[in-house]
Every structure is written in structure tokens, then in C-alpha cells.
Amino acid sequence: MDQYIVFGVLVLALVLFAWGRIRHDFVALIALCVLLVFGIIEPDKAFEGFGHPAVITVAAVLVIGKSLEFSGVVDLLGKWIMKLGTNITLQIVALSVLIAVASAFMNNVGALAIMMPIAIHMARKNGHPPSLFLMPIAFSSLLGGMTTLVGTPPNIIIATFRAAETGEPFGMFDFSPVGIVLTIAGLAFITLVGWRIIPKRATKNSDKDPFDIEDYITEVEVVEDSKLRGISISELETITKADVQILGLVRSKKHIHAPSFDEVFQLNDIIIIETEADELNVFIEDSGAKLVGNKKFRKDAEGSEKIAITEAIVVGDSALINRTASSLHMRRRFGINLLAIARRDKKLHNRLDHVRFQPGDVLLLQGREDILHDTITSIGCLPLAERELRLGYKTKIPMALGIFSAAIVLVVTNILPVQVAFTMAAIAMVLSSVLPLKEFYSSIDWPVIVLLGAMLPVGTALETTGGAQLIANAVLNLGDSIQPWAILGIILTVTLLLSGVINNAATVVLMAPIAIGVAEGLEFSVDPFLMAVAVGASCAFLTPIGHQSNTLVMGPGGYKFTDYTIMGLPLTIIIIILSVPAIMWAWPL
């Protein structure tokens, strides 16, 4: 009976994961609590997952990745790439290889965050749409993460499952034989063929506009000296050549949706418009309207004479998610104004300050130049502007690389387990001033930590109740009609498809016990089956929601949901075809 309850809870969790309206970490907590209520998980074991070696390792790796980012090592390499010529193929090769290598040793989202502004600037400088650059580097970050133990959380989790089953975890470079083969093949496809079949989204040749968004939703106010006063919507073309679409009006606190062409603008009207970034500037200049969010900052504030406007993208674990600018009191709390929002493939019908932020939204923000970048980062957004190299990088790079290398040596030589070595390295990064102390906790992706801590007991329940073995037996029934390598391919493919709609860490927790059950039923080594789960969980190329890296580039690249399939599907097929023989070569059945 217990196994069917676990099945029901897992089906509910999968539905909620795919639905996406409830955060993944909260879904995991719901599943954990339901199993607690039914008595399937004992209360004294409910939170053992938060002390699991995989959870500690993931947290430490995230801190180390942020330390490498702060040291400036990737920034320095990025500056070197900027010196390449104008050959787009060479540029994409260099960017993709660099981010794949960086993702093998640091969080792939962090590596992507560093390289995105550089890629966008490079595209603009040479008159190319950023869409040709951003999806290739996002996919490259996923490929690079497969090659080492610390490259991606799924590998860390898989290593702990192997330790529980055989007494010894996968080592630092045990993933490399398969991972490197797949990464090289994937990079070859991406850099030679893949970027050529990506749809070219709206191109702007201005180097001043550092991102590529087709449409902004913003609000302007009809002020005293505005040319909009007294004219109708149909007469807009007489005062401006800007291409804008009027979505609504707010007059005397009343919202007028889709106003008619005969509607006459009045003083203090707030107009909700949809337009491109460059067209917005033209409209403001021509009409004399005022951006609603453009409130003046205190004149006596230090640095207030230097007010900047920049673009930022909302990342998956941002504090802004499902909140509004109004509920957050953005200007009062953070010292920034929200001027506009762009969201791919969706129309925004609410007032600007009542729009609930979602991952991938691109925000136009205004604030004091001296604090704007740090403020944007602190609220969980990624600035879409090229950064200068961090001060002191010449001394921090050797220190950061030395600490990280020492941790790897301790793990490879089996002197210390990975969770201990990397925790010590994370602490050393702070003590050596590579990473500021205030960044220590903020560098950890806490939703992922909570997700893992809650899902690991759920995965254990799936195994102890016999649920995993029941599913494994269903797969084993196919063994009479198909070859073992085909079963290996099925496990890999199912894992890959699941990772396209739910968090890859959760996918591993659910699939690893099933893979172990199949291996034991066939009387084969568990290693190739666990490796198949690891590969499948890392290859979320089919959708923008399968991985944070994919979500991050959706807005700046101007991609539609289906664009990911255009390059992702052939890449996925290549991975599936090569994975099975590569796994069986490196890890014989």
C-alpha cells in the first residue's frame, strides 16, 4: 500500500514541477510533508537529507564557483575573446569552448552569467543578432557540466547513490571519459551547424543597446508640456514616427483596456505602451511624455548626479519571482526604479507595478550608477551589460586557482571526501579575501539546497517501499524482447525527457533508484545505469524551462519556446546515439 501512496505523491510532484506555478523547492517540501503525514517517512528522519553529503557538496561548489567568478579568471579570458576577429564561427567556437571548460569546474549558471554580456557585446559590435550566440553558449554550459563530479548537481547526487550501493562514490574525473566525448561532439554540432539553424531574431546594429528584446511594456504619463495633450490615438503619427502600440490607459485611477482610436489623451493620463527599446526613446523625445517609473532621486544623495539606466534579467531563484514592483517597494527598499518589462511570447495586461515577475523577464532599471550593479545582483537579477574586470584580479586569480586545485588534489588522491575538501576550500576562499564574506551565503542557490534536502528522503521512500523496484521490474519485463543496451538507452531517454520539464536534481533523485533496480535485476554493474541517469539529467536541450541556463538566454536572445527544439532536438539525438556506446565503453555492463 505504501508504494502506491509514494507513487501518488510522486505523480503529484511531477505535475506541480511541470506546471511551474509553485517553486520546485516548495513542491519538494510538499511531497516530503505528505509522506510524513502518511507515516511513510519517520519524523526523526524527515530532514536527514539536509545533512546529506550531496547537499553539502553542492553548497560548497556554489561558493567556490562564485569565488572563481569574483577572482576575475573567467572575466580575463572573456576579455581575451573580445580581441578575436570578426569571423562569427570563430567567435562562437571560442565562446562555447570557454564556457564549457568553465562549467566543468564552476556552476554553469554562474559561468553563463559572466559570459552573456560579453557574447551580447560581441554580437552587437559585429552587427549580428545575439540570438546566434546565446543559445549556443547556454547549451555549451550544460555540456561542460557533464565532464566532472562538481560540474553539475546531478553528478554529485549520482556519486552519493553509487557510494550507498557499492561503498565507493564516483571520483572527480570518473565522469570525464563519457562527458568529454559527448561535450566534444555537442560542441562540434553547435559551433559548425547548430548556430546556423537558430532563427535570427530582431537585429539592432547599435552597440549602445546591449540586448535584443523585441517588445517592452512600459508606462508614460501625459504631463503639462507634453505634445500628447488634446490629440487622439489615431493622431499619434502626427507627432512621432516611433512604432508604438497603445495597450491601455489609466485615467483617474480607472483602467481603460484597448482604448479606441478616437480616445483623446488628457493631462495626467498614464498610457500603457508596447514598443521596442530604441523606439521607446524616440517616442519619449517626440511626445514629451514622462516615464512613470522615472522619479527623481534625492539631490543630496552621494553620487546622485550619476543616474544610470541598465537592463537586467530575472534569474530562476530571484527574490522577485511572483512578486510585483508595488509589493516590493522597489525604489524605497532597493533604490531603483522599474521603467519597463519585456517578457518573451506573452502580453502583459496588468499595470507595470502590478506585473508579477517571472524567470527570464528583462527589466529596464534606473538607479545610482555607483550602486546599481550590486543592487541588481542582490535582488537576484543578472545585469545585461559588460563589466569591467574586478579590482585586484591579478592577485586573486592565482590564489583562487591554487585553493581550488588543492581541493581537487585532496579529492583525487582520496585524502579527503569531496564534501569535506570543498567545504574547506570554500572557507579558504573567504579567509583569503577572494570572496567577500557577505557573498558567502548569497552565492548559495538555497532553493536547490532545499529541493535536494527535501527530495532525498522522498527518493529513499521510493526505494524502501519497493516502489523503485516495481518500476524497475516493469522495465525488466522488456528484457526478453530487447537488448540490455536498449534498456540503458531507455533509462537515459526517460531521464532526459523528465529533465526537460522538472529540475534536473529532482530527476536524478527519482531515476537513480529505478536505474539501480534495473541493473540489479539484469545482474549488471550499476555504474553504466547510474551514468546514463547522470547524462540524461544534464542534457535539457529541448525546452527553455529545463535548465536555468536555457531560461536566462530566452529574453535577451528574443527566443520563442519552439526555438529551443530547432537546435535542441538534433543535439539531443546526437547525445542519445553517442551516449550508450560511450557509457558501455567506459563502464562495461
Q: How far is residue 415's CA from residue 412's CA, in Å, rounded to a whole number? A: 8
- SS3 state at 245: strand
* CA-closest candidate to residue 246, choices 343, 235, 211: 235
Superfamily the domain 307-383 falls into? Regulator of K+ conductance, C-terminal domain (3.30.70.1450)
Please choose, from the candidates 551, 573, 566, the residue with its C-alpha nearest in 3D space to the C-alpha of residue 112: 551
433-462 per-residue burial string, b: 16 or more CB within 10 A, e: under 16: ebbeeebbeebbbebbbbbbbbbbbbbbbb
- The parts of the chain modelled with pLDDT lower than 50 are 203-214, 298-304, 389, 391-392
- Contacts of 222 by beta carbon, 8 Å cutoff, 6+ apart: 228, 229, 265, 266, 267, 268, 269, 270, 271, 289
pLDDT of residue 359: 82
Question: Tens digits of per-residue pLDDT, 243-290?
Answer: 888 888 888 878 777 788 888 888 888 888 887 766 777 888 888 888
Q: What is the pLDDT of residue 134?
A: 92
Domain boundaries, the chain: 2-46+73-202+445-586, 216-291, 307-383
Is 243:214 a contact under the CB 8 Å cutoff? no
What architecture (CATH level 2) is domain 216-291? Answer: 2-Layer Sandwich (3.30)
State residue 376's pLDDT score.
86
Contact 25, 448 (CB under 8 A): yes
Q: Rg of the chain's alpha carbons, rounded to an integer? A: 25
Model pLDDT, residue 60: 92
**Same-fold call for 216-291 versus 307-383:** yes
